[in-house]
A and B are shown apart, each in its own frame.
Chain A
Amino acid sequence: MRVRKHNHFNIYSHLYKLLLLLICLIWIACSGQNKTKQILSTEKRIQVSGSAVNINTASAAELEKLPHIGEQTAREIIEHRAKYGRFSKPEYLMFVRGISDERFRELKTLVKVE
């Protein structure tokens, strides 16, 4: 490590330091007010319609009435229930193979867990 010795006071060398400090501070300040998108929270409650299917008790036939759920998926839902127990949230229907995010969105108003 090399140490520079300032034997006499030199205003210019100190100005230099201050400038450096200033630049650092500006940079930090600038990067602070970055483009973090502030999106207004538009909390959407799932509106469950009255005739919603209870996915924890429904039979295969009842499940098949839901959009995008065929024989295969209905069977998998029932298998899933037998293996892992009740669905604690309707969203967890997505654990079942064949029910993607998009498909779930189309039937989320039609299902309930209790």
Chain B
Amino acid sequence: MPLPEALAAGPSAGGGWLVAAIAWPVVALLLVIAGGERLAARTGALALPVGIAIAIAVALDVANAGAGGLTYHVGGWAPPLGIALRADWLAAAMLLVTAVVATGAGVHALADFGPPRAGSPGRASLAFWASLLGAWAALNLAFLGNDLFNLYVALELLTFAAVPLVCLDGSAATLQAALRYLLYALVGSVLYLLGAVLLYGAYGTLDMGLLATAVRPEPAAWAAAALMTAGLLAKTALFPLHLWLPPAHAGAPPAASAVLSALVVKGSFFIVLRLWFEALPGLANAAAMQLLGLLGAGAILYGSALALRQSRLKLLVAYSTVAQIGYLFLVFPLAFDASTGRLAAGTALAGGLLQAVSHALAKAAMFMSAGLIAVTLGHDRIAGLGGLARARPATLLTFALAGVSLVGLPPSGGFAAKWLLLSAAVATGQWWWAVVIVLGGLLTGAYLVLVLMHALSEPDASAAAPRPVASWRDAAPLVLALLAVFMGLAGLAPFEVGQEAVAAQAHGAMP
């Protein structure tokens, strides 16, 4: 039985900026590859701030579009035959934070991956900038895509961009970490694709909007949901599929780790959100949502506990990422409305979004400052951090500020996010998640205080003298950390507006 014919429809009003958000990083990527190693850093560094402008343009368009957001039919072909792009508040916020963090990482990376000096072949420079721009394009597509196979291509592009970043230094340890990451990511993508084929086989479309109306609770849909979620959880490194993340993120160069931890894992998480909130709304049930929340709680507690036991700073920060990802998955049980059997776009979702945004800012700052610490002291052993406060106060301050947002102290974005999640937990009577959130905050505070204590102590008599590092290198991480810390202040006011828009959009989307 054929679906209604797809007539070639005209594009929606506006929406050109959605195309720009994906096309611009691709253009920059192609220019970097064709232009060669000498121009790679300059091309990349110039392209990134333009991305911030595009993201702001998208946000303004979304604000004008009202409930339901913006839709764009690529090629003028309407789904189900064609591919659609869609932007709402969630997508606009993620586009903006991606552009900001990528710009910060790019600026910070100009020191290590700038134009190659005479005699240097320039391999690392080209590889870094091509990967950064490729990841950026893939992330924007992940946030804007509305077609499941299009999102599969986005996920693959993201993987192929992220993996070479892990092993840029060419050592056996990072190569092994990169291979482990690649295998987890590939298995994740193929499980996702398996789910997609079941959905197409049952409903004849891969467009998320059309699926939302067509999907019924039946075995094919259940299997597809389970497979796609499992695959995406592997890519997001949710406990217990987190094994690949710590060695990969700790082994990459600092600017790359910032992008990997702050942004790349959020791409697959965003698709999980879209899947359960929009494409398969009728499939959500209490048990499945509690399971996702349980895995999230496991991530928070296990990740934080392991972070406490680390002896190297970069590994501690990587395990902190494992833990913070867990908070994102608390959105599912907290947003589940038992009376309607669907996920509601309300306080919990706003909390999850704010957690994603503030974690991105704080974690990027944290990895970049950890990198500076390692360069200054010549190592990143936590026990040997003594004397850092005197050697590089700005770097330590950045690290501490980023920590403030991770722990969730006011007025940071992390605090606002946890506050929203806690209120959702209280409102729905799921007090056990509140306990987990509080415990997570305490454990996070513990490992951060541990680092600060060592950093504020006196240096060992045998420790090498700290190496000088240019002061401008603290600028990018400090700016990101300050954004994270004050996101709660600036964020909560327009955020309530955003929240109402999110709620209105949800009501508009579900007739």
A associates with B = no
Residues of A within 8 A of B (CB): none
